Amino acid sequence: MLCSGVYTSKNALKKGVEILQKALVFLVQATSHFIPQIL
């Protein structure tokens, strides 16, 4: 029971990291797209 709980939390952590990376990439792309328009 404990092992599956650890596995699940590791899986959730991995998913969270993937989502964070995608969000970061999106932010960078959006920033590099909008900065020239502001300046």
Between 7 and 31, the more confident residue is 31
* Structure token digits, residue 39: 């300046």
11-34 as b/e, with b when 16 or more CB fall inside 10 Å? eeeeeeeeeeeeeeeeeeeeeeee
pLDDT on residue 38: 67
pLDDT of residue 1: 52
User: Quick check: pTM over 0.85?
Assistant: no
Q: What is the pLDDT of residue 19?
A: 97
pLDDT digits (tens, 9 = 90+) for 18-38: 999 999 999 999 999 887 776
Determine the pLDDT at residue 4.
76
Tell me the residue type at 37: Q
Residue 2 has pLDDT above 80, yes or no: no
